[in-house]
């Protein structure tokens, strides 16, 4: 069983943390992963930095820019992750834009992910129809789940279509904003979560965008199986460093 499916089957209130590979330093990647694991994170999303991250706000854009200036590349990321499964058992997901994956070669990229032990990919700018027609078999051959995103603007018909063709979980973008642009759910977001609840989707939901504290984590977890924290974690890394990661995780989960 894929590690994502296993975690979703066994846990609720899942905390998935996103960080940008190569930030704050080129060689920070595996150290951050190991600290997140020991701190009690349930899943990890490793951001593949890109020069034009359209869906991301200022914080993640900044981390991508610094990571690229540090010399991070797809090849270096794979080199850094080689052997990571000797120490890490929780799901690892690579999140990135399609251009670097396409430049690397989709089949070769997926093959490397499988060899290293990556469980899934989140590619915001890869439409589901293109995935199904061109890349689904490659993903399946390499035991990778492709995680699709939905937003408040996604129609019920499209959500049903994504639900029927999803593995792992559906990434529920909590608002129409870019990442890191809000730190509190408004009534529109809550109505959107309630709308999804009524649809009774067969695929588990994990909510991202706007999760920055225990209050938001607790609210979102009522409407989903867990949450994704990205911008808030990167800000915390910038201000507090890698050695303080457990404090951040405990604060999000409200562990005293």
List active site positions. 45, 56
H/E stretch holding 220 reads: helix 214-222
Helix, strand, coil % over all residues of the chain, rounded to 5: 50, 15, 35
Nearest CA-CA partner of 226 in 84, 93, 47? 93
| Angle of the 245-253 helix axis to the 29-39 helix axis, nearest 10 | 40
CA of 28: how far to CAs of 16, 58, 59, 70, 236, in Å? 18, 21, 17, 11, 15
**Residues 89 and 3 sit within 8 Å (Cβ to Cβ):** yes
d(CA 147, CA 139) in angstroms, rounded, equals 11
Question: Using CA atoms, how far apart are residues 86 and 32, in angstroms rounded to an integer?
Answer: 15
Rounded CA separation 190/93 (Å): 27
- CA 69 – CA 185 distance, rounded (Å): 34
- Asked if 194 and 176 touch (Cβ cutoff 8 Å), the reply is no
Give the list of residues 6+ apart from residue 176 with CB closer than 8 angstroms, or none: 151, 152, 153
């Amino acid at each position: 069983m894929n590690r994502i499916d296993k975690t979703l089957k066994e846990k609720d209130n899942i905390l998935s943390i996103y960080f940008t590979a190569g930030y704050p330093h080129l060689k920070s990647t595996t150290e951050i992963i190991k600290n997140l694991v020991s701190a009690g994170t349930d899943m990890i999303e490793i951001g593949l930095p890109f020069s034009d991250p359209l869906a991301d706000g200022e914080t993640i854009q900044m981390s991508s820019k610094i990571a690229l200036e540090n010399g991070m590349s797809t090849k270096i990321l794979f080199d850094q992750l080689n052997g990571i499964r000797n120490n890490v058992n929780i799901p690892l997901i690579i999140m990135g834009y399609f251009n670097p994956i396409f430049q690397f070669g989709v089949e070769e990229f997926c093959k490397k992910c499988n060899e290293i032990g990556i469980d899934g990919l989140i590619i915001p700018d890869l439409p589901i129809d293109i995935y199904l027609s061109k890349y689904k078999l490659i993903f399946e051959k390499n035991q990778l789940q492709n995680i699709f995103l939905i937003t408040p603007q996604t129609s019920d018909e499209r959500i049903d279509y994504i639900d029927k063709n999803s593995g792992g979980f559906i990434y529920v973008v909590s608002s129409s904003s870019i990442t890191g642009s809000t730190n509190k759910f408004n009534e529109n977001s809550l109505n959107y979560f309630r709308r999804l609840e009524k649809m009774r989707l067969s695929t588990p939901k994990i909510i991202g965008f706007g999760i920055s504290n225990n209050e938001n984590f607790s609210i979102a977890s009522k409407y989903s199986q867990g949450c994704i924290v990205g911008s808030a974690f990167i800000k915390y890394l910038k201000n507090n460093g890698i050695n303080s990661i457990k404090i951040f995780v405990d604060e999000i989960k409200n562990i005293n």
